[in-house]
Amino acid sequence: MTTTKLQTFIPLFYIVWSDDLLTEKEFVTLQGFIDSQDWLSPDEKQLLLSKISISNPPSRQDIADWKSKIEQTIQQNPAIKSIFEIAVALSEKDASIQKLETSFVKLENDLGILGEEAISNFKTKAKTFTVTHQTEASFDIQKITDVLDGNQAPIINKVKSIISGPEFKLETITNVEAYRQKVYDWCKILAKENLGNMAYPKQYGGGENPSDYFAIMETLSYHDLSLVIKFGVQFGLWGTSVMSLGTEKHYIKYLKGIGTLKIPGCFAMTETHHGSNVKGLETTATYNRENQTFTIHTPHEKAQKEYIGNAALHGQMATVFAKLIIAGHDYGVNAFIVPLRDENGTVLKGITIGDCGHKMGLNGVDNGTIRFDNVNIPKENMLDRFASVNDKGEFESPIPSDNRRFFTMLGTLVGGRIGIPRSALAAAKTGLTIAIKYSDQRKQFGPEEGSEVPILNYRMHQRRLLIPLAKTYAVHFALQYLTKRFLNKTEAEMQEIEALAAGLKSYSTWSTTAILQECREACGGKGYLSENRIDALKNDTEIYTTFEGDNTVLMQLVAKNRLSEFRKSFGEMGSFGIINYVYENAKSAVAQKNPIAIRKTDEVHLLDSEFHLQAFEHREKTILASAAKRIKKLIDSGMDAYDAFNVVQHQMIDMAQAYLERVVLEQFQMAIASVEDKNSRTILTKLCQLYALSQIEKNKAWYLEDNYMEAIKTKAIRTIVNQLCWDIRPDAVALVNAFAIPDSCLGELV
């Protein structure tokens, strides 16, 4: 390659030998090209062909020389934009070469080389914008923490300080016995700190502060989740069942002992054959008029109580849900306190305990099965707030319908459906803190000869972690709202709040499951090591989507509630009513669905919070009306109602989802409106925009089907979601730092 003319081929030679994507076929193409060039002498052809013989490749040194020649050329001629321009420069602007542009470019194309890209690769140095993007907080972290913690800051800080102590050091305990004991010991410490009885009335030793109780549950969830569940079983489920279903005599007798963990107990509702459908429980409580007792009995193996926390080892008593039978008559499911063990832990006569054994997670909780073989308990052990047996041995209740009584009882236990989603939220925060901080440090790949790039600078990685981050902030405010509504509820609001709790329980726990999955993958192999905590977070919360009500079942409950509310608001439910509604909705949607709006893609509009909320509301209302219409049509056509609801089940879930998304967005927007600090408001607004637009992006098929948006708009939304991720990335580490999770809970990675 001594003559300048022949140097023309250097770029192509370099590329075919170094690119890992070219195959033998491309060598043949290149050989054919050289053969066909009339301006080369046979000797020159032979020389050139010798450089691209697969059986006799050039030396490593040849390749290095070619590369440095190309680099020099580009350096000397920074305006160069194509492979051919390099070739021309290397030929020292040989005029005969310059004429060959067309055939050279065709050759490049036949070889699948994108010239501009190849040149750019030669030029790329460390300073590309992908490389230089980095962590730089735009706000005061403490101020965001203050917004998140609100009035609960003191109790949150107290709990954080306890779980950061040496006694609470986290470790992976694979021995189930040791793990259960450790968790039990931790619970005792928390009881001593008066955290367990926080929600109970002061006259029974409690703190009378249910707000703080929920904050405790959430904050503890940064730590070991077996602890949280054991804690929740004892003080939440067991204690609350006595408090909500019992009467004063029970409070006096039990509540203090429960709050101090002197009386460890269980909440024995679920049976092997009846989990979601608790109305179908088969355990019986038969009233014995002769001696004023009840006999608690498990009629067959599949009617045993199952998955009962605290049952396998520690529980001394249980609130047992059983069908009350008086004189052969079934009065529906009621609740009874049944002793299981004496104070030494010995299982009492008639009680058979099984151990659920090893589980996917939560192995620090002693879940067990309980069978009752004609166990007698005194009459006073019936939790008799909503139903009782009078002195004459007759059933009495202020609520005559068995159905409604049962749901009223369940309604008082709805607190569990607030504690669990808040615990799930904390687990998502922990996972995101670990994954985002790791991704900010971890570098992998980079431009040629540049340094490697933090993986959080990669766009897919940003989508995988920052959209969840925005959602986690959104869910935080929604759960704050739910808690407030629940704690200040009136009777008239109860059904709405119960549905909201059921819905947000599903929304938050599913969200956590999905987010921890992303976190695990985002941390690669490190995410798989137990020491880095994602293992435990993921496996422990896995059951959150099932317990306290299977999410899919709960979502149908939400949907049914929405349908009922819908019917109430729209009087005439005949098809006229729905038409009316659709018309009303259509009127309000005129502004939104006009030909200009559905194609509007300017940034101001796309980032506008009013646009977001309108889009969410429109979706919510339209799905609701359409499902109502469809159900009516199916039933009118003669289909059984039970079948009809099954046919539209998919739509019911969508309906509940749309409702929850609207609530979550609305609450996020309202929370931001009350933030005073400007920088805090700016970053929270960005997160809220990302939440809103990423949800619209997820649902864009629906918006397109509904003609609420045209393709040009949904595509613009995708672009802006990516851009928001990019813009938020420098703040990402500060945003997870604002969760202020104790370092001791973040594993070994960060």
Contacts of 236 by beta carbon, 8 Å cutoff, 6+ apart: 213, 217, 415, 416, 419
**In the complex, what is the shortest distance from the CB of residue 595 to a copy of itself, in angstroms, rounded to a whole number?**
16
Spatial separation of the C-alpha atoms in residues 148 and 201, rounded to whole Å:
27
- Min dist CB 1 to a copy of itself, Å, is 15
- Is 551 a binding residue for a copy of itself by CB under 8 A? The answer is yes
CA-nearest of 523, 525, 516, 633 to 579 is 633
Q: Spell out the residues 6+ positions from residue 515 whose beta carbon is closer than 8 angstroms to its own.
A: 428, 431, 432, 468, 471, 472
Task: Please list every residue from 374 through 403 that binds a copy of itself, using CB under 8 A.
Answer: 395, 397-403
Query: Minimum CB separation from a copy of itself for residue 157, in Å?
Result: 31
**Chain mean position to CA 165:** 29
Query: In the beta sheet, which residues pair with residue 320?
Result: 268, 336
Signed CA dihedral, 663, 665, 670, 672: sign only: positive
Which one, of 284, 235, 240, 282, lies nearest residue 260 by Cα?
235
- The closest of 127, 136, 134, 723 to 446, measured between CA atoms, is 127
Nearer to a copy of itself, 92 or 636 (CB): 636
Judged by beta carbon, residue 6 or residue 356, the one nearer a copy of itself is: 356
* Residues of span 556-575 touching a copy of itself by CB under 8 A: 560-561, 564-568, 570-574
Interface positions, 642-661, toward a copy of itself (CB under 8 A): 642-644, 646-647, 649-650, 653
**Residue in 2, 20, 166, 674 binding a copy of itself, rule: CB under 8 A:** 20
The interface with a copy of itself within residues 52-71 (CB under 8 A) comprises: 57-60, 62-63
Closest distance to a copy of itself from the beta carbon of 672 (Å): 27
Nearer Cβ to a copy of itself (124/685): 124
Check binding of 175 to a copy of itself (CB under 8 A): yes
Task: Single out the residue of 31, 706, 734, 744 in contact with a copy of itself (rule: CB under 8 A).
Answer: 706
The answer to whether residue 176 forms part of the interface with a copy of itself (CB under 8 A) is: yes
Choosing from 32, 150, 154, 280, the residue that interacts with a copy of itself (CB under 8 A) is: 280
**Do residues 736 and 623 make contact, with C-beta atoms less than 8 angstroms apart?**
no
Nearer to a copy of itself, 248 or 396 (CB): 396
The smaller minimum CB distance to a copy of itself, of residues 25 and 93, is found at: 25
Binding flag, residue 630, a copy of itself (CB under 8 A)? no
Residue 536 Cβ, how far from a copy of itself at the closest point, in Å?
9
Nearest to 477 by CA among 685, 677, 620, 679: 685
CB closer to a copy of itself out of 157 and 444: 444
What's the full length of the chain, in residues?
750
Q: Least distance (Å) from a copy of itself to the CB of residue 145?
A: 30
Q: At closest approach, how far in Å is the CB of 567 from a copy of itself?
A: 4
**Cβ atoms of residues 325 and 282 within 8 Å:** no
Residues 6+ apart with CB under 8 A from 623: 651, 654, 655, 658, 702
Measured from the CB of residue 67, what is the shortest distance to a copy of itself in angstroms?
A: 10
Task: Match 């080389």 to its residue by tokens.
Answer: 113
Pairing of strands 317-326, 265-268: parallel
By CB under 8 A, residue 542 contacts a copy of itself? yes
Rg from Cα positions in the chain:
34
Per-position x/- string for 189-218, each x denoting binding to a copy of itself as judged by CB under 8 A, each - no binding: ------------------------------
> In the block, which residue shows the tokens 């799905």?
623
| Cβ at position 114, least distance to a copy of itself in Å | 6
Q: How far apart are CA 11 and CA 54, in angstroms?
A: 18
154 binds a copy of itself (CB under 8 A): no
- The three-state secondary structure class of 331 is strand
Beta partners for residue 353, in sequence order: 370
Closest distance to a copy of itself from the beta carbon of 198 (Å):
28
Query: Which residues from 90-129 bind a copy of itself, rule CB under 8 A?
Result: 105-106, 108-114, 116-117, 120-121, 123-124, 128-129
631 binds a copy of itself (CB under 8 A): yes
For residues 563 and 572, give the distance between their C-alpha atoms in angstroms, rounded to a whole number.
14
Is residue 359 a contact point for a copy of itself (CB under 8 A)?
A: yes
Return the residue of 19, 193, 301, 373 that touches a copy of itself, per CB under 8 A: 19
**Residue closer to a copy of itself, measured from CB, 45 or 715:** 715
Question: Given candidates 285, 383, 427, 543, which one binds a copy of itself under the rule CB under 8 A?
Answer: 543
**Window 293-322: contact mask with a copy of itself (x via CB under 8 A):** -------------xx---------------
Under the binding rule (CB under 8 A), the answer on residue 582 touching a copy of itself is: no
Rounded to whole angstroms, the Cα distance separating 662 from 503 reads 12
Total Cβ atoms within 10 A of residue 161: 10
Residue whose CB is less far from a copy of itself, 224 or 306: 306
- Residues 451-470 binding a copy of itself (CB under 8 A) are 452, 457-461, 463
Q: Considering CB under 8 A, how many residues would be counted as binding a copy of itself?
A: 143
Say how far residue 77 (Cα) sits from the centre of its chain: 52
Residues 323-352 that bind a copy of itself (CB under 8 A): 331
What tokens were used for 712? 């040009």
Per CB under 8 A, which of residues 497..536 are in contact with a copy of itself? 513, 517, 520-521, 524-525, 527-531, 534-535
Q: Does 360 sit near a copy of itself (CB under 8 A)?
A: yes
Question: The tokens of 149 are what?
Answer: 């913690």
344 in Cβ contact with 411 (< 8 Å): no
Q: What are the start-end ranges of the E strands in 195-304?
A: 265-268, 284-288, 293-297
Tell me whether residue 433 is exposed, middle or buried, using C-beta atoms within 10 angstroms of its C-beta: 0 to 12, 13 to 18, 19 or more. buried
- Applying CB under 8 A, among 404, 484, 599, 605 the residue interacting with a copy of itself is 404
